[in-house]
């Protein structure tokens, strides 16, 4: 069963705008990760945030984690056409450090 | 530039045939995962290995799927006999460490069973 649920399922924006995607999960986690998948490719790890962290930055990416709401958000600032991809969150559950549980992804289209 | 490699990249086969997919994890990574991705189900974990030992294959249909790691540089996923519902993209990923940290994905094998 899926743990993470991304929202929205699809997002279309103009180049230069910011894109925000959300992920909700159900059980306590050790960490939450975001991955990107370009069409026809494998997934690429973007960023990992641990359960005791609230915010993390990497370049144009900003990830927040609210464990009380069991949710995370991924913000891409100043988006580019090359950011067009699907974005997935994955959680490593507390007490079961063996699997990553994946959401169904948000499909982001950045229009030039 | 270390990468996970997978072969074949595309496979079209008829129902009932055996399919073997291969994966070479990144050298030094001790954990290997097999995933299946479809539009309807998203990304499903089929099996994973740590230090070549199978740790979890609960996501895999046991009657037709099998996963092995003959050595540290090769992981295989076999389907016998294949069925049209097995049509999907199969990804291998590798990682390092005891915890669940970042995974490095291969390009995938797109399987079509007719």
Rounded-to-integer distance, Cα B55 and Cα A19, Å? 37
Choose among B4, B55, B103: nearest Cβ to A98.
B55
Residue with tokens 């930055």: A57
Question: Among residues 4-43 of chain B, which lie with CB inside 8 Å of chain A?
Answer: 4, 42-43
How many Cα atoms sit within 13 Å of B91 on the Cβ side? 22
B contacts of A33 (beta carbons < 8 Å): 102
Query: Does the distance separating the beta carbons of B107 and A98 come in below 8 Å?
Result: no
DSSP-derived 3-state class of residue B57? coil
Amino acid A67: pLDDT: 95
- Show the beta-strand stretches assigned E in B14-103: 19-24, 31-38, 42-50, 53-56, 65-71, 74-79, 88-95
At residue B70, what are phi and psi to the nearest 5 degrees? -60, -35
Alpha helices, DSSP H, located in B1-114: none
From first to last of its 112 residues, chain A has per-residue pLDDT tens of 345 678 889 999 999 999 999 999 988 888 999 999 999 899 999 999 999 999 999 999 999 999 999 999 999 999 999 999 999 999 987 765 567 888 889 999 999 9
Residues of B in contact with A100 (CB under 8 A): 45, 100, 103
**Residue B29 in this model has a pLDDT that exceeds 90:** yes
A89, closest residue in chain B (CA to CA): B43
Q: Is the pLDDT of residue B97 over 80?
A: no
- Most confident by average pLDDT, A38-42, B52-56, B65-69: B65-69
Are A100 and B100 an interchain contact pair (Cβ–Cβ within 8 Å)?
yes
* B113 and A CB contact within 8 Å: no
Give the mean pLDDT of chain B. 93
- pLDDT score of A103: 87
Identify the pLDDT of residue A84: 97
Nearest-Cα distance to chain A for B101, in Å, is 8
Binary contact (A44, B105; C-beta < 8 A): yes
Best B43, B46, B60 residue to mutate vs chain A (most A CBs within 10 Å): B43
* CA nearest to B50 within chain A: A98
Tokens of B8: 């074949």
Better-scored residue on pLDDT, A7 or B104:
B104
pLDDT at A2: 42
pLDDT value of residue A90:
92
Q: Do A100 and B4 touch (CB under 8 A)?
A: no
- What's the pLDDT at B5? 97
pLDDT at residue A100, rounded to an integer? 83
The two tokens of residue A109 are 């289209």
Contact A13, A85 (CB under 8 A): no
Q: What is the mean pLDDT of residues B74-92?
A: 97
């Amino acid at each position: 069963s899926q743990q993470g649920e991304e929202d929205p399922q699809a997002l279309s924006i103009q180049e230069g705008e910011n894109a925000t995607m959300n992920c909700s999960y159900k059980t306590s986690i050790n960490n939450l990760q975001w991955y990107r998948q370009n069409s026809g490719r494998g997934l690429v790890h973007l960023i990992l945030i641990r359960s005791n962290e609230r915010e993390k930055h990497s370049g144009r990416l900003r990830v927040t984690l609210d464990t009380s709401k069991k949710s995370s958000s991924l913000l891409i600032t100043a988006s580019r056409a090359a950011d067009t991809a699907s974005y997935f969150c994955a959680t490593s559950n507390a007490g079961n450090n063996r699997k990553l549980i994946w959401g169904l992804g948000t499909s982001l289209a950045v229009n030039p | 530039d270390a990468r996970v490699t997978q072969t074949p990249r595309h496979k079209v086969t008829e129902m009932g045939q055996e399919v073997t997919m291969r994966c070479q994890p990144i050298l030094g990574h001790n954990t290997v995962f097999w995933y299946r991705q479809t539009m309807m189900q998203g990304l499903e974990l089929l099996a994973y290995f740590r230090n070549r030992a199978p740790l979890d294959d609960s996501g895999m249909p046991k009657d037709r799927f099998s996963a092995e790691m003959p050595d540290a540089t090769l992981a295989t996923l076999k389907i016998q006999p294949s069925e049209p519902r097995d049509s999907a993209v199969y990804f291998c990923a590798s990682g390092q460490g005891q915890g669940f940290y970042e995974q490095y994905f291969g390009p995938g094998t797109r399987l079509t069973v007719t």
